[in-house]
Structure 1
């Protein structure tokens, strides 16, 4: 063994502190001929399994350890100054007992001792000391801290306490040296303590990065973690460049005077022996009811009983001549699957899944029809784990489970997003709270993200970093190396700009490094005993997870389940509920016909906003081309609309063959039954398996091995598989050349092939949503708007979809609205829960007041009946601004008289304080048993319905829309740009929602809703603004040159037209601004006069004088024409007169002033 072994090392899993990638570090250890190495993350075991397995692959002994935080006192005392409540201590597992104790220690650090850091204490360490070797750690260790403070006696006491806990042979005083003065003090103080207490010395280097030259990227990484700039003198930093993986010779050069400290690293490594090789499945126990004696027997019974429940459907299909396979084939397939599952030992697994799905269904929690390869199992279909008939859709069981697969079957389940937690809670109760946890996941620094992180830390401006980041394509698996190879412009920036060179050099060193830990969206572990018997725990925000990610959890044999929350299931449930409430019709989703003409017409039109998996602009365009007419088409499109097939033109081939534009040819008639459903295109992995089986005699298990090898392009396996396929195909009658051609076809398409089982299950969900949208649009849109109520961008988009569907959207109303969007005979009513600042408690209080007192007749009456702690001033003002009181404004407002509505709304907003005071007084009196004369307030008229309102100026139309936007996050009753839409259309200005393709020049018009002022590195001003029209919003970037010209025009609430280069990435669009103009300037330039229509009467002198005054307030270059209608004639006579001496500046305010004088709709352009 070498003369030195690293025992104190941090990988990237010491988050935003360690910069060593595990693979790179181990490769370097191999190069340096190191026989062993330890990994000691800060307070966690995140990397333990991955490190262990990668080290074993390379023939290096892995030493599993952790640099823990030891509390200065009781770990459960969560108080004190951050940074002074704990010291560091390196712990190494010498054997399996120590490994399990280490798991328990780091778990308790998070679940019991977390206070800024995950802390243990000496009491806990003593309880779990068996098999543990301790090192006194770095300058932040307890012994070193006292020595640095010239407290030698306290340092001795600390060392003695660890000796007593761990044993004299198991605690080592740790020497380091990276050129830091304090470390020299510690190194001088440790030998006397060692001699006095009989403790051995050991030397380490506290490795945080791989090579000496990595100190700068590591420094940047620290800044990313602390949110600091590298130029900040007061920030956390590691002094010097010595925290790297030094060679044994380099360590000997530093610690030559302490040979025993060097030798002890080797001795410790020899003592440590933790072997996690092999996977033992650890399934929780499933209790079976009497009279069944085993899970296997109960499983078979449940599966067969489930088939009996499915049998009537099969018989009904057979009677209609629609059953593709006879019932006997189903029975044979069922028997085969049951026996295979029992033989492989997975009966208990299926029962566990069946049980919690049954729980969900019994409680009305929506469950998805399936996902992944499990949809190919008839057993899963019979047990109601899935709702996809695998025989009807030619799905393959072996794609899911076969003897060649050594891992546990993987059944992922979709639940209603709103109620998923109920199922997890059921599982937690059933198997024990200590036995169930969610799973951690780690986020890494991707190509664009790491450039932005590093650029910000280096002090570069947003504009400069953005310019570089935008040169990195947003494609799957993009890396900085690939971006530099594919984009010459990026390479040129790197070569010619020193700052960009530094940015990219550092970013490439940090690219892919783990950045943060979070909770996996769906993963849950169910263990047969407390999870800390098998894996460490992590806790954040009161959520307990494993410290190991999905792959590592499965690797050690724990049962991992995916409980996915899918909003589409919530959408379907709510839409069906709306249909039942509004029509009385009860729809069973599993009874929807799969040949509904309206549904396919919807798909073919591309009107699929809100349709699961078919909503993106690219998919909508594909649907318009493909015009799907059967369910199989939807399965195929869902499978083919992915980067690989799209890039290879496969989807175009599919469409052309479907439409008869390209002939379908089969190299052998044996391919026709396999590929006819996809018009001769290999779209699915299952088709590759079927070809291998039917044409070359592969078993389905062997075919699955081939499918994996092709999909992952495993060359070593592919050559042997090729020879096997060619031999088998020729033996079964194919010519060698034909067999080779088919192999090449399989190899080409297999890289793009998708899991048909998954595609079929999700196509079914898509079809169900489309069926409801096509046949019950109002109910569907009400459910969709409720689900997306917090996403104002999507709500605005879906409101436009409502208009296209002919569904009216009614404003919120305190008497008519519920919490959610609801369906009425007149359309969809806006929900109170979607109004900003109106919380769930406030909504419930209003609804309760309605239930208790009936219709609310005034603002005062509402304040009398609601809980004013919940329905406070902020809530009431938001309700008024949202138009929720318009229904109380009398018949004029209800019928659309905007002037009256705006006046009453202004009065109600001014009356809020008085109404709250009135309501509070009435409630106090009511509580005291006092009643006012006649039981009514003095603020009410005799009929008890009207209240006296303050005399305040009316809102303008612009103010009303602005308040509406403030309260709803969008414009509902109108939009400031609406009055110019006709003229903008004539000028070729497109609606924002119609922008779906990149363009060198594009013009939009709208209101500036947000503006963020920035500066470049040179200090030049620029801005990022958001422009929105009625149907959408768009980010526009105004770089310095454009900002100098047009920045003054881009104030918030300005109405503008913006021209520039349109960029679109993954359905997100943004405009690089080249020109900005006020909307009214565009209209003036069009040369069309402002036309004002009057009737005579009342086109009297007073009206004309009022108009003259308006014109005087808005001087400009726009021409004006009057159209006067003389109603005394029959038919009425219209007279048009151009006012040659009058010139005005067209604007929103001018339009409002004219309409105040002449009435709504009196003004137009033309």
Structure 2
């Protein structure tokens, strides 16, 4: 009898999960109901699954609202009806049109209006009346509407605490105090499942209404197939046999391209893989991925293919990936095994400014009815919701700030208000908060996607499903990951700049020759990798130095052991030790030596986890891979995962493995598997790292400009400017007669672009270089003002950053002139003048800027000084007793250094205390690193950008020196003379 049930997918309105909703219904003897979440069908497929499992009849629907006002409730008669409802909502979402006040007439769906509706009721349209409205029927001739009346008992919450939660949700949604939310903007305090028989009792005088309601529900049947069904596009060509033949043809042609005609090992491997792909019916998945790559390569786009799919030789032959599985001895079972139900992951990375075109191609190639971006569902887990709860309670900002300050957690513990907030937060934390877009998932469906979801139109402008990747997998969809990353943008831009600036064309895909280049490998070993994809962070540069990494295979391993799980389990340190002394490695068990000799007894890759589960624990390949996925949080069910853990231990015992050894093997497996990469994934990263390193080594100026123009990487902009100077470039401040929107180069001159100037409007960032290109360089300030029609505030920014220095006048003189020219009401314009009238010139005293003033202008407008260094700004002339270059001479000794802050990293010790790692530059521009232990460090040691005086002991870890800090203080800089 419940036609209007809400789950927590009625965002910031409903309070119950789907599971709880069904359990609450069953507890009251309810055997059928309609899920009608507000303006979405996110939960419908989950609702159908849970109801079927628990023996309740599910009916799908949607509650349609406009500006928080209920318009009507749509109820699907069938799968086809659900599609019609979804498409009705989708149309209005994608076209950005308001929902109409009256519902359409749909063949396979019903609509229920609230009883107050006064329009004409079409076929399949009903009036929903609540039990507290029944008295209004007294004395009315019901002949016209008798067959149209149905019982309406909305369900939003299950108990009084949840009603209070609903009130908080509504207040947060409306950004209003709890006490000021209008009753019309929240549900009634009776909107819940009633006790068994209570609804029938309330409608007993109008039993025909209950009959109408029951008849309507009985006509509904969610005729979706039971069990998991594969919903991805089933064929590429339209015919499975043609798909098989096309994939075979492409793979064989690709094998010749990659390995030559007579490579028997490659031929056998490709044939073996093709058989598994045919048997598992994954031909279409491979061909669609190949088609995406074919399009993007035809556009001249550069891509990196990674993920478990890169373990496949077929994928290598199709040019989906550039990682050679035969050369790296990649483990095919990680990629596909006979019982795997979902295809392998292909993560295809593009430059950030090319990905959307690739996505647009997929939409156009496979049809908008069959293509959508994958959604995500964020929850209230973010602690910022504590601030939201405080606001709706009406607490002052100062009190809320105290509750959100982590350093005051001990003081807050006994505060009654804080306890109340945390109680609400704990209930709310796992609830869905808002829908968004997945980082890169795209779905290509056999049926129209609207059978399974309505579609949203987020700011990205592409249709997006209303559920996330986990629900997609349960429903039966496998995603295509079309991702973007800055590293590819760096490579693409650098190649283009080299062609423009040095007139050289590069084939950046000749990676195998890069791997044999001694100069590159020496630079890799030194850790001089700033700007290079995945190998520029302090931790990675340290690891490269400690490993003395000078080859591709070691870099592949390093790309995986840098992951958190390996480091936290202590296995990264073990790997480094064993790497340097392979003959002294002590293996836990002969099986570990047999399977992990290549990685010195340490599990480095996901494949290693599988190998150990198979060969040490006696599991088959399928169970081993499911167990690995489970440790990454991707298990199908907790019970199944626990069964496989037990199977590992029982299998090891059956094979006679010592119990204590098994415990340690399992500790290593479980601590590592959740964070590890597949070997192919690490290999893909290592290939891209070599490409970046090649560009940095041989074309450092163009490469660093490319890094800056693709918005950097791990570090702040100032460090990349520092690296650009180290590369030999003369870095110039922005100039209206030379600069573009981005950083530009001519020979070794690099002009900073207008994009990096704080406060400069985007209009002028584009207009200034365009005007100069069309009408030539600017002659003087007045010419600049007339041709750009720039306002006073924006002109002042350009003068202060030095962008009009071509005039030969000081900034102060230019500021005088610009105020004289623009301080009147009229603005200069760029209309043609009959006569050019020169402005009067007045003789002024010399108005000079000091270098310190200029540096402060640059700090304000660029976030870093260019004309002076941070060391030049220090009041003290002291620069430390030691420089980074000579640290190894002082091992074990306490030294005093001055360093310019680069970055920091906070970690937690086993005792849950905080410690920090810092990275600094010395006055020579060389890096050094610091460690700040909890006992020697205040609650937070760093005080932002600037220079610090550092006292500490020099220590060495596998040839990498760093400082264990005992005292640490930020140094003062000279005051801004303008502020004195």
1:306 correspondence with 2:254? yes
Deviation at 1:906, TM superposition (A): 3.6
Distance 1:901 1:792 in 2: 37
Q: Relative to structure 1, is the Cα distance of residues 625 and 224 closer, same or farther in structure 2, using a 3 angstrom cutoff?
A: farther
Please tell me whether Structure 1 or Structure 2 has the larger radius of gyration of its CA atoms. 1
Structure 1 partner of 2:109: 132
Deviations 1:922-951 (A, max 9, x none): x513xxxx576xxxx7469xxxxxx98977
Distance 1:915 1:968 in 2: 30
Aligned to 2:569: 648
Unpaired runs of at least 5, structure 2: 881-895, 908-912, 919-926, 928-942, 951-967
**1:715 and 2:623 correspond:** no
Q: 1:929-948 residue pairs with structure 2 within 5 A?
A: 938=838
Is 2:302 the partner of 1:366?
yes
Which secondary structure does the structure 2 equivalent of 1:17 belong to? coil
1:805 and 1:764 mapped to 2: Cα distance? 23
Answer yes or no: is the 8 Å Cα contact 1:860–1:918 preserved in 2: no
* Distance of 2:456 and 2:976 partners within structure 1: 57
User: Is the 2:902–2:945 Cα contact (8 Å) retained in structure 1?
Assistant: no
Show the counterpart of 1:166: 124
Report Cα offsets for 1:980-1027 as digits up to 9, x if no partner: 25457669876443554589999x9xxxxxxxxxxxxxxxxxxxxxxx
Contact kept? 1:537, 1:544, Cα under 8 Å: yes
Match among 358, 362, 386 for residue 423 of structure 1: 358
Matches within 5 A, 1:22-61: 22-61=18-57
- 1:832 touches 1:838 (CA, 8 Å); kept in 2? yes
Looking at structure 1, the residues matched to 723 and 776 of structure 2 have their Cα atoms a distance apart, in angstroms, of: 34
CA distance in 2, matches of 1:410, 1:886: 54
- d(CA) in 2 for partners of 1:264, 1:984: 89
1:281 and 2:277 matched: no
Alpha-carbon deviations, 1:877-930, whole Å to 9, x = none?
A: 4332221222342xxxxxxxxxx7445544564466499999846x513xxxx5
Aligned to 2:756: 834
1:1141 corresponding residue in structure 2: none
Shift of residue 782, structure 1, vs aligned partner = 0.8
CA contact (8 A) 1:228 1:235 kept: no
Cα distance in structure 2, aligned partners of 1:451 and 1:411? 38
For the 8 Å contact 2:607–2:679, the answer to whether it is kept is yes
Given candidates 710, 733, 737, the residue that maps to 1:787 is 710
Spell out, residue by residue over 1:83-126, the C-alpha distance to the aligned partner (whole angstroms, 9 max, x if none). Answer: 6xx742222223233223222222234235733xxx2454x621
Q: How far is the alpha carbon of 1:514 from its aligned partner?
A: 1.3
1:979 is matched with which residue? 873
Q: State the distance in 2 between where 1:1054 and 1:652 align.
A: 31
The alpha-carbon distance between structure 1 residues 461 and 807, as it changes in their structure 2 partners (threshold 3 A), is: farther
Q: Is the 8 A contact 2:42 2:453 kept in 1?
A: no
**Residue 423 of structure 2 is aligned to residue 505 of structure 1:** yes
CA distance in 1, matches of 2:977, 2:792: 30
| 5+ long unaligned stretches in structure 1 | 71-81, 145-154, 177-183, 316-325, 473-488, 890-899, 941-946, 1005-1030, 1032-1049, 1060-1074, 1081-1145, 1154-1166
Q: Is 1:858 paired with 2:780?
A: yes
Is residue 1055–residue 1078 contact of structure 1 (8 Å, CA) maintained in 2? yes
Q: Which residue of 1 aligns with 2:292?
A: 356
Who is 1:381 aligned against?
316
Output the CA distance in 1 between the equivalents of 2:211 and 2:389.
40
C-alpha separation between the residues in 1 aligned to 2:757 and 2:652? 63
Distance in 1 (alpha carbons) for counterparts of 2:263 and 2:592: 26
User: Does 2:685 correspond to 1:689?
Assistant: no
User: Residue 556 of structure 2 aligns with which residue?
Assistant: 635
Q: Is the alpha carbon distance of 1:576 and 1:121 closer, same or farther for their aligned partners in structure 2, counting shifts above 3 Å?
A: same
Instruction: Look up the SS of the partner of 1:248 in the other structure.
Output: coil
SS at match of 2:365: helix
- Confirm or deny that 1:97 pairs with 2:80: yes
- The worse-fitting range, judged by mean Cα deviation, of 580-589 and 394-403 is 580-589
Q: Deviations over 1:800-848 (max 9, x none)?
A: 4446666553212233323321334445321233334556664555445
Stretch moving more, 102-111 or 39-48: 102-111
Kindly indicate whether the alpha-carbon contact (under 8 Å) linking 2:613 and 2:648 is maintained by their aligned counterparts in 1. no
Are 2:147 and 2:212, in contact at CA under 8 Å, matched by a contact in 1? no
The answer to whether the Cα contact below 8 Å between 1:69 and 1:88 also exists between their aligned partners in 2 is yes
Matched residue SS, 2:3: coil
Task: For 2:701 and 2:191, locate their aligned partners in 1 and report how far apart those are by CA, in whole Å.
Answer: 64
CA contact (8 A) 1:527 1:559 kept: no
| Cα pair distance change 1:261/1:608, threshold 3 Å | farther
Is contact 1:578-1:822 (8 Å) kept? no
After superposition, what is the alpha-carbon deviation per residue over 1:670-715, rounded to whole angstroms, capped at 9, x for unaligned? Answer: 6446323322101222123334556788664454345445655812
Aligned to 1:73: none
2:939 corresponds to: none
The separation in 2 between residues aligned to 1:657 and 1:190, in whole angstroms, is: 88
- Cα 1:851–1:950, aligned 2, differ >3 Å: closer, same or farther? farther
Q: 1:465-544, aligned counterparts within 5 Å? A: 465-471=400-406, 493-494=412-413, 496-528=414-446, 530-532=448-450, 535-541=453-459, 542-544=461-463
In the TM superposition, 1:384-399 aligns within 5 A as: 384-399=319-334
User: 3-state DSSP class of the match of 2:190?
Assistant: coil
Deviation, structure 1 residue 652: 1.9
Equivalent residue for 1:175? 130
SS of 1:403's partner is coil
Residue 199 (structure 1) aligns with: 147
Alignment counterpart, residue 993 of structure 1, candidates 897, 902, 924:
902
Q: Is the 8 A contact 1:212 1:243 kept in 2?
A: no
CA distance change for structure 1 residues 547 and 498 in 2, over 3 Å: closer, same or farther?
same
How many angstroms does 1:493 deviate by? 3.8
Q: After TM superposition, list the pairs within 5 Å mapping 1:572-651 onto structure 2.
A: 572-592=491-511, 593-597=514-518, 599-600=520-521, 602=523, 608-651=529-572
Q: Is the 8 A contact 1:911 1:950 kept in 2?
A: no
Deviation at 1:499, TM superposition (A): 0.1
1:995 and 1:739 map into 2 onto residues whose CA distance is 38
Distance 1:1076 1:744, change over 3 A: closer
| Alignment match of 2:480 (pick from 544, 561, 567) | 561
Q: Does 1:660 align with 2:591?
A: no
Secondary structure, in 3 states, of the residue corresponding to 1:879?
helix
> Is it true that 1:221 corresponds to 2:173 in the alignment?
no
Does the 8 A contact of 1:582 with 1:824 survive in 2?
Answer: yes
1:300-323 deviations in whole A, cap 9, x for unaligned? Answer: 1111111211125xx9xxxxxxxx
Deviations 1:344-382 (A, max 9, x none): 2222222222122111112211211x1210111111111
1:233–1:17 CA distance, 2 compared to 1 (3 A): closer
Provide the rounded CA distance (Å) in 1 between the counterparts of 2:139 and 2:444: 49
What TM-score results when the alignment is normalised by the length of structure 1? 0.70
- Contact 2:870 2:947 (C-alpha < 8 Å) held by counterparts: no
Deviations 1:595-650 (A, max 9, x none): 55555555555555433334445445544544433333333333233333332222
2:938 alignment partner in structure 1: none
Q: RMSD across aligned C-alpha pairs, in angstroms?
A: 4.5
Structure 2: distance between partners of 1:233 and 1:528: 45
The residue that corresponds to 1:296 in the other structure is 244
Report the Cα distance in structure 2 between the residues aligned to 1:464 and 1:175, rounded to whole angstroms.
Answer: 43
Q: Structure 1 701/506 Cα, relative in aligned 2: closer, same or farther at 3 Å?
A: closer
> Is 2:733 the partner of 1:811?
yes
Call closer, same or farther: CA 1:760–1:974 in 2, change over 3 Å: same
Aligned equivalent of 2:89: 106
The separation in 2 between residues aligned to 1:191 and 1:598, in whole angstroms, is 96
In the other structure, the counterpart of 1:180 is none
Contact kept in structure 1, 2:498 and 2:504, CA below 8 Å: yes
**In structure 2, the residue corresponding to 1:590 is in which secondary structure?**
coil
CA distance in 1, matches of 2:176, 2:254: 60
Contact 1:401–1:409, Cα closer than 8 Å, also in 2: yes
State the TM-score, normalized to the length of structure 2: 0.82
Check whether the contact 1:907–1:952 (CA below 8 A) recurs between aligned residues: no
